[in-house]
Amino acid sequence: MADSATPTSTDRSASTQTSWEDRFPKLGLWVDLSMLSLVIINLSWIILDSLFGFAGVQAVLTSLLGSAPVAWYDSHIHAWFFLYDLGFVAIFITELLARWAYAIHQKTYSHWLVYPLLHWYDVLGCIPIGELRWLRVLRIVAVIVRLQKMGVIDYRQWSVYQLFARWFNIFIEELSDLIAIKILEGVQIEIGSGEGLEKKVIARVVVPRKDLLVEVITQRVARLIGNIYAGSREDLEDYIKAAVSQAMHRNPEIRTIEALPMLGTAVSKLVHHTVNDIVCRSIANAVEGMQGPEFRKLVADITDAVLADVSIDQRSDAERGTNEINAALVDLIEVIKDEVRIQRWKAPLADEPAATILKTAI
């Protein structure tokens, strides 16, 4: 009983990977909402205080509120805003250190320094410098993502997120299409230049894999012909018998043998049967021999001859055929480019009520 109550190493390792938000969901939710509120308040205050620094804004506020409130804010808050911001920074640093310490205690990451590296925006956002303060916006994004994982919110249903996601996907599609077309144009130039591209392909791709290529060709040809022969053996033998019979009937020597008295016809039939049997057995043995080393050597010799013929640097029918293949590849890539240029993101817009407005904006 004592052994069954003792937690195993697997249980302990699994528990160490559990975040404190999972263990204490209400506490994690309260902390995230509190930090989200503080960051929004802090950034809003930074924006308002920055606007207050302009003389025109102060003049408008003075005309609306009077000089006393504006002077009080200027002397008591705007002049000491750096210290007020330090109060927010102190809270942010405390929360960052608490999460860091908890990550170290739980061994969430392999090294204690991983947490601040992954949350670099929190670290830099705690520095009270004007340019770095805006990194606190990323803290809002991180909190929203955590709330999404906790199921508190679903930002995928927000109109702002859907609008951003739509235009972001459009941007990514257009950018990827431009990159793909540029790459395909480079491939077309390389193929169309004809500066020994096929020789480079043969030297770097085909030749190092020649043995594997020969093995694959041998096996596939042997299997293909074996299957065809097994399914058409009777028809092939009938065709051979008919061809042999016709050839022997036209052969003058066979006709001479048939003209011999008494034994001519029997000898002719015996020769006919023997020739048929030899031809059929030779074909069967040839099909079975394709699994042997002789046929593999034949395929290897043919492959070597083809590679050697392509490697010869001279104007020949083979080279002209290669040029035709290159031209066909260039045309094929052009077709692919035409397909890539199609703006597929416009298709879903046709079913939406605002399709006309969106197309006009595009």
- pLDDT (tens, 9 = 90+) of the chain, 362 residues, equals 444 444 444 444 444 445 555 555 677 678 888 888 888 898 898 888 888 888 888 888 888 888 888 889 888 888 888 888 889 989 989 988 988 898 888 888 888 888 888 888 888 888 887 777 778 888 888 888 878 877 777 888 888 888 888 888 888 888 888 898 888 888 878 777 766 666 777 777 777 887 888 888 888 888 888 888 788 878 887 888 888 778 777 777 777 776 777 666 777 778 778 888 888 888 888 888 777 788 788 888 887 777 776 665 545 555 555 667 777 778 888 888 888 887 777 766 655 555 444 444 44
Question: Does residue 169 lie in a domain region?
Answer: no
Tally of domains in the chain: 2
Question: Does residue 360 lie in a domain region?
Answer: no
Question: Does residue 269 lie in a domain region?
Answer: yes
pLDDT at 312: 59
Residues 11 and 114 in one domain: yes
Q: Give the residue numbers spanning the domain of 216.
A: 197-313
Residues 34 and 124 in one domain: yes
Residues 127 and 227 in one domain: no
Question: Does residue 101 lie in a domain region?
Answer: yes
Residues 20 and 110 in one domain: yes
Cα separation values, 296 from 10, 124, 190, 285, Å: 55, 67, 35, 15
Residues 63 and 137 in one domain: yes
Residues 216 and 85 in one domain: no
Question: Does residue 86 lie in a domain region?
Answer: yes
pLDDT at 159: 86
Both tokens assigned to 225: 């012909």
Residues 137 and 27 in one domain: yes
Question: Does residue 71 lie in a domain region?
Answer: yes
Residues 124 and 32 in one domain: yes
* Phi-psi map region of 194: left, alpha, beta (phi>0 left; psi -120 to 50 alpha): left
Residues 129 and 245 in one domain: no
Spatial CA neighbour of 291 closest among 233, 221, 213 = 221
Whole-number Å distance between alpha carbons of 310 and 249: 46
Both tokens assigned to 129: 């410098």
Residues 202 and 277 in one domain: yes
Residues 136 and 215 in one domain: no
pTM of the predicted protein model: 0.46
Question: Does residue 342 lie in a domain region?
Answer: no
The count of other CB atoms within 10 Å of the CB of residue 35 is 19
- CA within 13 Å, CB half, 11: 5
The H or E element containing residue 119 is none
Residues 6 and 130 in one domain: yes
Question: Does residue 345 lie in a domain region?
Answer: no
